[in-house]
Structure 1
């Protein structure tokens, strides 16, 4: 341990340690001195490091100050030794003054005896060691006090630690109790919630059971009422149909009587015409040679026969002009057209009588049919769905079948006027619906014939002597009137092409397991009649181009070399006749038809021909052409 400096409030010092003549310090002074010493040493004061200091815990503090005596001889010897050893640096020692202290003779004597008896046991020590030895009892007392203070502090710290630990245990116990209470509360609330939930569930189940019973009762009553209403409606419908049938029969009989009267009148007129012709021939025979008269008679009779076949001229034509000179069509095609138009007219009359005799409004069904036709797209799922919904409407007893079929035929024909009308998909829907209701096909074709005469095929030739004006001729061949004006030729040709594409898509449609009553066979017949009877002009060229683009692929697959022969006839005769007209508007059409033939485009599927099968894979028929087959229910 290093040297330290002990400062005592006393002027005399020996080796930086002063001897206090009055060592009776106060307790606070001792503590302050010890704290100052500890600060200087910067370590805790260790009581066992000093030599010669005994740990005297049993020493009692005397109320009388200690007495220190030094003889004069020893003082002189000490001073001389100190002078020799220390020289100028020696420190003077002041004698302690103890005059105020009373010492008894007995005490002095005992002390002297004690000192005399023990003087031989003490080694001779220096002045400093003697001073420290004299001060050791006081230092021992201070050490005792310090030990007691340390003991008290340790006891206080121990009590404080015990108090803190006890306080922490109490806090832990409180927290544990709170946690236990929370758990009990949570468990109790959970039990209450479960009980409440079970109670509410039971109540809800009871209400649902009651509501189900009530709903079943209401549904049963509604079904009973609906059955009664349907039965009543069926009876009323049956009565209306019977009434309409009776009225139609009466009207038919009246028309038959009228037709008989007209036929009789027509025969009378024809007989008069024959007589007049015979008289004219006689007059001519008298004026011209025999051969010419016979030829003239043949011409007159042929004109009369053609007039008898074709009937009266259309609106805007002059009745004096023979129809055979302005109408170009095959006789078989005209007969089919007349039959279909007659069926359509008869159906419209029946529907008109039904609507007049019935209080029901059928416009909702007609709008529904029109909406379904507008929604037709080129996917098999769409085709199947729309066909099924249309058939459901036809089978719905709330709307008569004749009204539904008439609306379907009219909306299909008007659908041609919509751009991008998905002709092939629409053809599939028509075939699927007419397979369930075959008589609807003639009505659809009649609507086609009314809207576009080239679906017959038929053409009316313009003659100034046969028509009152050019507008009358345009109306005869199918031009539409818009705002009091006849539409332009471009719009008419665009609409004509749309009708012919849908007609071509219809005749080429083939579905496995479904019979198309107007299939490729009818398309072949149409093409033959077209090339045999119709002239080559802009109208017939547009109609032929649209028909080949849609139906040519299937016609070639079915008729092979025969179809190629048809194309050769078109290339050699029809296109040649078109070129001879030297019409600038025909150049584009001629190029398109010629390119179709020369590039063998009939070998390729037309755009939109294949229906998308991804949406209808579950109902496809597995065959070589999966996109054309359906299972239809």
Structure 2
């Protein structure tokens, strides 16, 4: 008798505590859900079928009878993994998977489940097939049981792996959640930092903008102040310019008056000298007349005496003394002793006028120092330092001239004292053979163009240091000087510890002074007036050749002057200057050569070479400063970078 196959449409089916599990791949959750659904259906139909026995009971009883007749099989339901279920309603399901008579075996040849019309609701969950399963032997049953156990172990392993995977998934989910929280927290932190950085950046931008606006405001204020200062400076410059023009006018007027006075005095002296000469001539004539009358009387007397001596036989010889000869010798000596120097009258008058101004300036400064206890040591040191630092460089000349002009017009010091110091320091610097004559001349002209009174004071100091800048030459006479040393002192020799300097040293210093003077008279700067310019150099050369003898002092002076000023004199006077050089060559050099003085050989050669080689056509070395300092553009702007001084404190 074959077994009835029953194809269940759900994962498990329970009939009065007996459950079948034909599909081993079903999960426990599917089984529980299916059993719960089946119980629900049975519970709903229990009330309607109380008087009628269920077909399943009939089938089971029939199946019991068949089991007794056929081959027996064991249907066993084990408890597995019921502890994982969270529902208390599933406990009876775990215990229901056992046979009613525990430990007994039952056989069922055929299980036929017929579905009646009354039990349609219950039978609808089953598909009735002819047989539940085939009859099996003990081997097949054991194999089936082993297979079932193997399937259970596989299910357990699968469940464990699924549980581990679920645990790992939960942990991963938690880690992801925590990571996400940390990311969110980091994001919020970064946002806060970004906000702080933005605030700081905006603050910095605001500070920078504020600083920029402050700087712009400060720059505008500075520009306005500069403009105001420029306006005030221009006004002051115009005022100073008017004052300078007025002072210049007054100076020219005073100079004209002085020259007129000098001419009047000179005319008066000439008239007086002419009157004296006329008186002397008249007295001489009267003396000659009286002498002639006296001579006639003496001659008559001598003739009478001679006649008497002749009559007496005695002859005597008489001698006459030339009284007129003695008188003429006396007059010649007086005239020669009164003319101890050789110089032009105009040159001597200008020298006396400048020396008088220097004397008055020094006396006034002495009174100022004594009255105000003025200490000019530092001021004098600054002036001296700027003069010593003069070099033949454009920037140097510009800066030193500007500094010296400021020092000469410094409000804290009296200008007359500054001018005196300036003149003395410049002359002392010129005595050094290592000085730069042309650069010094440029500085002097630039400074004196702003401080005109300083030029006369400087020339007076130069005349005192070197008489050949007048030009003036002292003639040595034993009757006029006690000794040769006294004459040397009068012409400018220096004494050190009562020892007179050598002639060689004196000539070197004399050459330095004359080079400085020659550079000064030829310096011409646009927009800057040279109050002792080239016409004064031309006058010096004419006076020198007209009055000075040829000796070693005058030869050195003339050579140094021509070397420095000859180029400018030729460019100005052309043929007239060549005539002057002819006079030098034909007269002055001839006199020098005739003296046969070995010390003069070098100087004579230099002068002769200067004339023969026409070196006056070549610009002397150092006349043009380095970097073209006094170019046309800079000369036109000279009045802009030199401060305009005030002359209120002069004298």
TM-score scaled by structure 1? Answer: 0.55
Instruction: Work out which of the residue numbers 171, 187, 190 in structure 2 matches 1:176.
Output: 187
Shift of 1:298: 4.5
Instruction: Work out which of the residue numbers 539, 551, 572 in structure 2 matches 1:537.
Output: 551
Report the Cα distance in structure 1 between the residues aligned to 2:471 and 2:143, rounded to whole angstroms.
Answer: 151
Shift of 1:132: 10
Instruction: Work out which of the residue numbers 481, 488, 501 in structure 2 matches 1:474.
Output: 488
Shift of 1:347: 3.4
Report the Cα distance in structure 2 between the residues aligned to 1:132 and 1:590, rounded to whole angstroms.
Answer: 154
1:304 correspondence with 2:272: no
Report the Cα distance in structure 1 between the residues aligned to 2:565 and 2:480, rounded to whole angstroms.
Answer: 35
Report the Cα distance in structure 2 between the residues aligned to 1:301 and 1:590, rounded to whole angstroms.
Answer: 37
Q: Quick check: 383-392 or 531-540, which moved more?
A: 383-392
Shift of 1:559: 1.2
The SS at the match of 1:333 is: helix
Report the Cα distance in structure 1 between the residues aligned to 2:593 and 2:639, rounded to whole angstroms.
Answer: 39
Is this contact kept in 2: 1:441–1:517, CA < 8 A? Answer: yes
The SS at the match of 2:546 is: helix
Is this contact kept in 1: 2:380–2:421, CA < 8 A? Answer: yes
Shift of 1:579: 4.1
Report the Cα distance in structure 1 between the residues aligned to 2:572 and 2:640, rounded to whole angstroms.
Answer: 17
Shift of 1:370: 3.5
1:603 correspondence with 2:617: yes
Pair 354,306 (structure 1): closer, same or farther in 2 beyond 3 Å = farther
The SS at the match of 1:457 is: coil
Unaligned runs of 5+ in 2: 1-21, 29-102, 111-132, 215-271, 296-318, 645-651
1:162 correspondence with 2:173: yes
Report the Cα distance in structure 1 between the residues aligned to 2:423 and 2:402, rounded to whole angstroms.
Answer: 16
Q: Quick check: 472-481 or 433-442, which moved more?
A: 433-442
Is this contact kept in 2: 1:504–1:550, CA < 8 A? Answer: yes
Deviations 1:81-135 (A, max 9, x none): xxxxxxxxxxxxxxxxxxxxxx98977999995249999xxxxxxxxxxx99997
Shift of 1:396: 5.9
Provide the aligned C-alpha RMSD in A: 5.2
Report the Cα distance in structure 2 between the residues aligned to 1:145 and 1:583, rounded to whole angstroms.
Answer: 146
Deviations 1:571-605 (A, max 9, x none): 44434444444444434333433333333222222
Instruction: Work out which of the residue numbers 421, 430, 433 in structure 2 matches 1:416.
Output: 430
Q: Quick check: 366-375 or 182-191, which moved more?
A: 182-191
1:341 correspondence with 2:371: no
Pair 357,522 (structure 1): closer, same or farther in 2 beyond 3 Å = same
Report the Cα distance in structure 2 between the residues aligned to 1:607 and 1:451, rounded to whole angstroms.
Answer: 25
Query: 2:441 aligns to what?
Result: 427
Query: 1:50 aligns to what?
Result: none
Report the Cα distance in structure 2 between the residues aligned to 1:59 and 1:386, rounded to whole angstroms.
Answer: 114
Give the greater-gyration-radius structure (CA).
2
Shift of 1:180: 4.1
Where does 1:183-582 land on structure 2 (aligned, <5 Å)?
297-308=327-338, 310=339, 323=340, 327-362=341-376, 365-378=379-392, 386-387=400-401, 390=404, 399-435=413-449, 438-462=452-476, 467-582=481-596
Report the Cα distance in structure 2 between the residues aligned to 1:116 and 1:405, rounded to whole angstroms.
Answer: 150
The SS at the match of 2:473 is: strand
Shift of 1:455: 1.1
Report the Cα distance in structure 2 between the residues aligned to 1:535 and 1:333, rounded to whole angstroms.
Answer: 16
Instruction: Work out which of the residue numbers 159, 184, 195 in structure 2 matches 1:148.
Output: 159
Is this contact kept in 1: 2:534–2:569, CA < 8 A? Answer: yes
Report the Cα distance in structure 1 between the residues aligned to 2:616 and 2:561, rounded to whole angstroms.
Answer: 11
Shift of 1:568: 3.2
The SS at the match of 1:512 is: coil
Report the Cα distance in structure 2 between the residues aligned to 1:628 and 1:603, rounded to whole angstroms.
Answer: 31
1:57 correspondence with 2:25: yes
The SS at the match of 1:594 is: helix
Is this contact kept in 1: 2:433–2:508, CA < 8 A? Answer: no
Shift of 1:369: 4.0
Report the Cα distance in structure 2 between the residues aligned to 1:356 and 1:546, rounded to whole angstroms.
Answer: 41
Pair 491,104 (structure 1): closer, same or farther in 2 beyond 3 Å = same
Q: Quick check: 503-512 or 439-448, which moved more?
A: 439-448
The SS at the match of 1:347 is: helix
The SS at the match of 2:425 is: helix
Unaligned runs of 5+ in 1: 1-53, 61-102, 120-130, 206-262, 311-322
The SS at the match of 2:553 is: helix
TM-score scaled by structure 2? Answer: 0.54
Shift of 1:484: 3.1
Is this contact kept in 2: 1:512–1:629, CA < 8 A? Answer: no
Q: How many residues align?
A: 434
Higher relative contact order (CA 8 A, sep 6+): 2
Is this contact kept in 2: 1:501–1:546, CA < 8 A? Answer: yes
Where does 1:19-168 land on structure 2 (aligned, <5 Å)?
56-57=24-25, 113-115=135-137, 139-168=150-179
Report the Cα distance in structure 1 between the residues aligned to 2:329 and 2:375, rounded to whole angstroms.
Answer: 56
Report the Cα distance in structure 1 between the residues aligned to 2:643 and 2:362, rounded to whole angstroms.
Answer: 30
Shift of 1:344: 2.6
Is this contact kept in 2: 1:510–1:628, CA < 8 A? Answer: no
Report the Cα distance in structure 2 between the residues aligned to 1:385 and 1:147, rounded to whole angstroms.
Answer: 105
Report the Cα distance in structure 2 between the residues aligned to 1:542 and 1:143, rounded to whole angstroms.
Answer: 137
Pair 117,558 (structure 1): closer, same or farther in 2 beyond 3 Å = closer
The SS at the match of 2:611 is: helix
Shift of 1:448: 1.2
Pair 393,151 (structure 1): closer, same or farther in 2 beyond 3 Å = closer
Pair 181,349 (structure 1): closer, same or farther in 2 beyond 3 Å = closer
Pair 597,631 (structure 1): closer, same or farther in 2 beyond 3 Å = farther
Is this contact kept in 2: 1:431–1:516, CA < 8 A? Answer: yes
Report the Cα distance in structure 2 between the residues aligned to 1:628 and 1:590, rounded to whole angstroms.
Answer: 43
